[in-house]
Structure 1
Amino acid sequence: MKKIQIIDSKKHVGEKVKIGAWVANKRSSGKIAFLSLRDGSAFFQGVVVKSEVDERVFEQAKSLTQESSVWVTGTISEDARSKFGYEIHIEDIDVISEAVDYPITPKEHGTEFLMDNRHLWLRSSKQHAIMHVRNEIIRATYEFYNKEGFVKIDPPILTGNAAENTTELFQTKYFDRDAFLSQSGQLYMEAAAMALGRVFSFGPTFRAEKSKTRRHLIEFWMMEPEMAFMDHDDSLEVQEKYVAYLVQSVLDNCDHDLDILERDKDLLKKYTELPYPRVSYDEAVELLQKNDFDVTWGEDFGSPEETFIAEQFDKPVFIVNYPKAIKPFYMKRHPERDDVVLCADMIAPEGYGEIIGGSQREDDYELLRQEIVDFGLNVDDYEWYLDLRRYGSVPHSGFGLGLERMVTWISGTEHIREAIPFPRLLNRIYP
C-alpha cells in the first residue's frame, strides 16, 4: 500500500493509501466520526463511518486525543465542501503515540501563553500557512536571483566592525579581541560584488535595538543583493521586479494557505503591477506637513508617517533621497546636493511599513574614508573595505529585504513575531 502526504491527495483519488498524521481536532456523532488530520504538508478531514469499519476502529476514532499521532489507512475522495478539496474515508487506525492534556486547545488563548508554547503553536493551521508563505518567499528568492545571473555568497555572522549603528551591536569575545554579531552582510557583499559582479546573500542578522513594536525583531533574516556597475535607478528596478516576483510566486504556489489566512488575493495581485511609484523625501515631508503631521525636514519617519504615505498609493512606494545625516556612512551623496544621499526605502501598503532599504554605495576612496572618520569609526577596522575603492572601484548599489517583514505583509499577519518560527524579542528568548 502506498504511503502519501496529505498535500498529494489529488493525485490519488479513488486509491487506498496510508498516511502518517497528527489529530488536530475531532468531532463525532453516534454513527460517524470526523478527524481533522495534519501531516506537515496540509490539513484535511478523515471520515470514519461506524457501519463500514470494525467496532474497534470506530471506538478508537472517538477516543483519539488532540495531537495524538496515528497511521490512517483509507480511500481518498474529493470533498467539494472543504477548501482543501479532498478527504480520506478511513478503514483502519494505528495509534503511534497518544498525546495527553495538550495545552493549546481549540479555545482562545492569550498571546503570551501562545508564545510560551511557540514550539506547539506552530502546529496550528494559521501558523502552518504562514510558514508555507515564508518558505515560498525563500524558494522564489533563490529562483529569481539565479534567473537574473546572481551568485549566492555567505557573509560572516561574526564581524569585527559595524555596518550601521554601533549602538545596535551585540558584542561578544573573539578569543583575545572583541567581535560582534552581524547587523548586515552588506560590506562583505560589496567585496563579493567586486569579484563576481552580481551577488546575493540570505542569512540571519542581529540588532540590539530595544524596541517592542509589531515590526521589530532582535534576530531576523535578510536578503541582501549587491550589484557592480549599477546605479541607484538600476537598483530600484531590480527591487520592484523582485518584490513583484515574490508576490506572484506566493499567489501561484500558496493558494490554499492564503485561503486559510483569509488574504485578499485580488489585492495581492495588484502589487505585482509595475512600476511602483517614487516620491522624494522632500515631497514626503511636504505631504505630511500639509496633513498636520509634526515633522521637520531632517527627521526620520516613524510608523504613522510611513503608513500615511503608503495610504496615498495602491502599491508599494519608494521614498528616495533621505537626508545624509540620518543614513549610514556608506551611502553615496546625491550628485547635485550635499544634504541628501542616493537611497530609497520601499514602504509596503496596508500599514506594514518599510520592507526594503537600499542605496548606491560611495565609490570614491577619499569621500568614503572621510565619512568613516566623521562617523567616529576606527579607520583601521575598515581598511579592507577601503581597498574596494583603491583597487578598481566602480559604481555599485545594493539593498536589503527583511524576510519577516515581507512574510508579515504578504500573509496579512498583524505582528512580525508570527513570521519567524522562534522569534527573539526584547523580553523573549524562550523557547
Structure 2
Amino acid sequence: MRLHRQEAEVRPCAIACVPVAALAGGAPASCARASRRDSKALVTCSYVFRRVVSRVVRWLGITMLVCTGLAATAGHAVAQSAPSDTQPAASILPVGPAIAQPSPEAVAAKVKARMQEQANTSNHPLPIVVMRRISDGKQCSFSVLDGTYVNFHEDPYGCEDNIYNTFEIVGAHEGMWIEMEAAPNCNGSESYAKYIVSFGPGHGPVGNIAPTSVAASVGVPVGQILNDGSGKRAFIADGYKSTGTPLPNAVSCVLVRNLLPNGPYHYRNQASGLCLRSDEFRPYPVACTAPVPLAFYELNDYFGEIISADSVATPTKRKYLNTSLSDDVLEFSTTYLPTHAFSYNATSSRLETLLGFCASPSDDPYRVNTHSCRHDTGARMQWIREPAPVR
C-alpha cells in the first residue's frame, strides 16, 4: 500500500495502529494513550485508519465479486461441455465473461430508459427482435441490451415458449451476436443456433434483417456466410448444437452480445468547464477545444460502462474508465472490474461506479479524484455529457 506524503510523516504509534485497527475493527488502546499525549497523532491515526478501512472494504468487495464471477464462469463452462448429439466447431467469437442476468423487470426498465435516449444522434438505437410463427403469424417483439437475454418462460414481452420458428431484426448492428436457444437461460445446455450479423462491404453499420429461420445455421460450418429470408447477406454462421428437442421448434431464449457502443461523447465538468482527456492512462481535464483526444463511448449494455474512443474497435482490449485500486484516482484499465468501472448517470450528471464512487477534479490539475458519492462536492462532481465530433 502506498501512503501519501502526509501519511508517511505520522508518528510510529499512529502507523502501528493501522493494521491492528483494520483487523480488529478499531484503534488499539496504545494509540489512544499516545494520542492523549499528542492530539495531532490522534487525528493523523484516525485519518489513516479511515483510509485503510475504506481500502480494505473496496478490496473485499472486488474479491467477492471476482470469486462469484469465477464460480459463475465455471458453471457456464460445465454447461457448455455437456455431451450432445452434434457438437460442431467452437464459436469464432471470443468467449465473454459470465455475467449474472438482471431481473427481467430491471432489464425491461433499462431498455425503456435507453430507448428514450435514442433522439441523441450519438446513440445507436437498440435492435428490435421480432419472433414469429409462420403458420399463423403469431409474434412477439423486444429489444435486448448487450450481454442480456430474454427468457420466454418469464419475459415481460408476452413471448410464448417453443412456438416461434423465424426471427427478424429491425435495426441490427453490424457484428452483433445473436443466439436462439432451447435452454430458458441461454446457457448452452440444450439445442441452439448462433449468428453474427454481417451485412458485407459497403453496408451497415445498422440495417434490417428479413424474417429468417431460427435454425438457419444448423448443419452449417462455422464462418459460412448466410442470407436472410429475403436472400440478402445478413449473417455469419457461428455454430449450433442439436440435442434433446432440436430447433426450430424449441426456442425458449434469445441472447444478444456485442452491440455497437453509444458515442462519441465529451464529459465537460460543470464547475470548471474543462473536458476529460481520453488518451492518458490517468485522464485529467483540459480545454474542450484542445487538440487532444477527448472522446469516449458508452457500452450498450445494462451498466453503460465508459471506454476510450481508441479502443472501440477492439472488444477484447477495451480500455475501461476505472477508479484506481490504490490511489483513489481516475484511470483506464484493460481489465474489466464491474465494481470499479465508471458509467454516466444522466439523472445526477455524475460519473459513478457500482460501489458508489464518483469522480471530481483534483487540486492537482493532472488528476481526477475518485471518492464516495456521499461526499457531495456540488458542481465539481457533475459532468455534462455532450456529443463529440467523430475524428
Under a length normalisation based on structure 1, what TM-score does the superposition of the two structures give? 0.21
More helix by share: 1
